[in-house]
Amino acid sequence: MNPKQPPRSNNGFRAPSISRSLRNGWDPRPQTPDPIPYTNPVDVRRRHLVSFLLIGLLCACFGCEKARAAQPLSGAPPVSEPQSLVCFGDSITAGYGLPAGDAYPDFLQRKLDAAGYHYKVINHGTSGATTKDAVADLHGIVQMHPAVVVVEFGGNDGLRGLPLTETRRNLDEVLTTLEAAHIKVLLAGITLPPNYGPDYIRAFEMVFHELAAQHRVAFVPMIYVGLIHRQGVIQPDGIHPTAKGSNIVADTLIAALKPMLKK
């Protein structure tokens, strides 16, 4: 074998020498392949977190806008609920014998509205009620939390000839309870037909005068004062007002009410 010749493989192939390979430009260093241009890696969890944050921000902004829309304009005054004015009485208040809307509380509501007063008139009249019934219903009136109460009771006590001491005691309890609840009161008195006799009528009327002075409440001595010598103001029963009469009664009461009302 010629030592200068490169060895042959078993199949007769002559292996190239390293030096010759180097001369031919072979680089023995390991070749690093060119990087494949992949898309930048993305953390899926971070992407979801960002999405949730964006959704939360949008919801918060929408909620703020909705809240601002629900608020009144800064320049607009707040709208308050009207205070209540309760007409607490018997058949005169209830509107006995009249169509709906023709009792004196209905006319009172219209007159207050026309005059610019912000009150809701509530008709709590009961036909046939006495001062004893007034005491029984008193708790319900106080629970309404009215600003003003017109107290119109006593006529049925007088017509039935009930003891005046009982009428006085019941009305006194009504006024005392309303005062304790800090409710303003207008007491409306009434008289009786002449056939009851001058002494009983005088004593009956004095019950209202004395209680009004004792409790220092607004007072209309005679609720029918505007009906005297007028035609078409009393129903055929000779006791209850017509619609025309109820309108006049409302005029009488509103004159006494105005000093205690607010616009």
| Residue 220, strand partner residues | 188
pLDDT class of 130 with cuts at 50, 70, 90: very high
Set 90, 91, 106, 157: catalytic member: 91
pLDDT at residue 60, as a whole number:
55
Domain boundaries defined on the chain: 83-260
Mean pLDDT of 233-261: 97
pLDDT class of 46 with cuts at 50, 70, 90: low
Helix or strand holding residue 191 (H, E): none
pLDDT at residue 22, as a whole number:
41
**What's the pTM?**
0.71
Model confidence at 163: pLDDT above 70: yes
If you classify domain 83-260 with CATH, what class do you get?
alpha beta
Set 90, 157, 240, 246: catalytic member: 240
Q: What percent of the chain has pLDDT over 70?
A: 70
To which residue do tokens 């999405």 refer? 51
Vertex 190, ends 148 and 212: CA angle to 5°?
A: 50
Model confidence at 34: pLDDT above 90: no
Helix or strand holding residue 89 (H, E): strand 83-89
Model confidence at 73: pLDDT above 50: no
Paired sense of beta strands 218-220 and 184-188, if any: parallel
pLDDT tens track for 135-148? 999 999 999 999 99
pLDDT tens track for 108-125? 999 999 999 999 999 999
Give me the amino acid identity at 187.
L
pLDDT class of 45 with cuts at 50, 70, 90: low
For residues 144 and 108, is the Cβ–Cβ distance under 8 A?
no
Q: What is the 3-class SS of 20-58, one letter each residue?
A: HHHHCCCCCCCCCCCCCCCCCCCCHHHHHHHHHHHHHHH
Q: Which of 125, 128, 131, 130 is nearest to 100 (CA)?
A: 125
Catalytic residue check, 91: yes
Set 27, 43, 199, 237: catalytic member: 237
The better pLDDT of the pair 1, 224 is held by 224
**Rounded to whole angstroms, how far apart are CA atoms 173 and 176?**
5
3-state secondary structure of 210: helix
Catalytic residue check, 240: yes
